[in-house]
Structure 1
Amino acid sequence: MTIRSRNSDSNPLETDERFSEQAVRTTYPSKKSARNIDAAPDNVLKPYIEAETSFNSGLYSAAGAMYRKAMERAIKHINPDATGMLNKRIRELENNSILPHPMIELLDQVRLFGNDSMHEEEYDPSKEECEAAREFAFLFLTYAFAMPALVAEAKQKLAQET
């Protein structure tokens, strides 16, 4: 074994034979991965990933707030000119038939859950309630960003084949 001084530029884990073949196999507690929507814009992904991290940590109020924030940012991408409170922006999408009614329902559910998570004094959401908001957010982001990207990818692939 070699003893290195504190001023050594090399990393002892890289040069010490005892560590050369080591690998992390498992961590405790296990880290649950976020369900990621890669096609979503970065500013939508950031609160969505925070929501997933909060959900996986059992922080359901925080998750509710972040799922709501992700929906708010997603709406801004869909209708950049919309202003006002989130409910007003959702109604604008509905009234102008920008989104089909089932997507409006998903947005409303996440909005209401997020509002309750943040503003209701005596309300602590359960895991089951948060799981519903989580699923609604995932479905909406899939519809709004992942599906259009998959369709564009399929069209491009088809065009290359012909």
Structure 2
Amino acid sequence: MVKDLYEDNATNSWKNGETVEASYICGYCGHEVSSNRGMALQKEQGGIGYSIKPYGVYICTHCHMPTFIYKDIQVPGNRYGEPVNNVPEEVSSVYEEARSSFAAGAYTGVVLLCRKLLMHIATDLGADSGLRFIQYVGYLNEHHYAGARSDEWVDQIRQFGNQANHEIRINTKEEAKRIIKFCEMILKLNYEYPSIAYDNDSNN
């Protein structure tokens, strides 16, 4: 078995050129890439450099921007979720801020921002202002803006929002992923997909 040189007291050093290949989602362009070019973070023992793990600065094969990777750390991180077209600017800015917070590892911030985002969406789609969060989520569900067969998702979002706002609790990466994906789904269903259908009708 190869000794894990990254867990002992050996000296860190950098090596330009080719390094151990890593697959990751680029925080700049959002593409999933596999790269072995950049600057390897290696260990040195007895004057010999070892690069046995995908640690270092990697150059994206799509946009050619640098990303630092070490264990579960990636800088800049992956902006989870997909961009959504035809979304009102105020709504879109909150969604993009939530994605940026995910890239920074601020997962509780993601949940709180998505909580605010759902309130913005509900208001834009006709809900009264000044309602409680749970009422806004209920409005989206009752008027079928959340899509069919989404009751379980809606219940989880209610729980995430209430926990983040009223309990001393840090949200996890998986919870942040789930709520971003839920918000992305609602945005696509109510803004992007209808605009595509409208464009198709206009061209016929």
Give me the TM-score of the superposition, normalised by structure 1.
0.69
The answer for the alignment partner of 1:115 in structure 2 is 162
User: Is this contact kept in 1: 2:78–2:102, CA < 8 A?
Assistant: no
> Structure 1 residues 113 and 38, CA, compared in 2 at 3 Å: closer, same or farther?
same
Whether contact under 8 Å (2:111, 2:179) holds in the other structure is yes
- 1:67 is aligned to 2:114: yes
Structure 2: give runs of 5+ residues left out of the alignment: 1-62, 68-74
TM-score, scaled relative to structure 2 = 0.56
Higher strand share: 2
Match of 1:126 in 2: 172
> What is the deviation of 1:150?
1.0
Pick from 78, 81, 86: which aligns with 2:125? 78
Q: Does 1:26 align with 2:62?
A: no
CA distance 1:30–1:89, shift in 2 (3 Å): closer
Match of 2:54 in 1: none
- 2:99 partner letter: E
- Compare 32-41 and 52-61 and name the one that shifted more: 32-41
The RMSD of aligned alpha carbons is 2.5
The one-letter amino acid of 2:186's match is F
C-alpha displacement of 1:113: 1.6
Alpha-carbon deviations, 1:81-132, whole Å to 9, x = none? 454112223334545x4545545654443343233223321x2111112111
How many residues matched?
133
C-alpha distance in structure 2 between counterparts of 1:93 and 1:32, whole Å: 28
Q: Do 1:83 and 1:89's aligned partners in 2 also have CA atoms closer than 8 Å?
A: no
1:33 Cα offset (Å): 4.7
Counterpart selection for 2:197 from 132, 145, 151: 151
Inter-partner Cα distance in structure 2 for 1:104 and 1:150: 26
Q: Which structure has the higher relative contact order (CA within 8 Å, separation 6+)? A: 1
Distance 2:203 2:165 in 1: 44
Task: Give the 5 Å matches for 1:99-114.
Answer: 99=145, 100-102=147-149, 106-114=153-161
Q: Does the C-alpha gap of structure 1 residues 128 and 92 become closer, same or farther in structure 2, counting only changes over 3 Å?
A: closer
> Could you say which residue in structure 2 is the equivalent of 1:87?
134
Q: Measure, in 2, the Cα distance between the counterparts of 1:118 and 1:108.
A: 16
SS in 1 for 2:84: coil
Counterparts of 1:31 and 1:92, CA distance in 2: 33
Point out the structure with the larger helix share. 1
Contact kept, 8 Å, 1:66 with 1:114, in 2: the verdict is: no
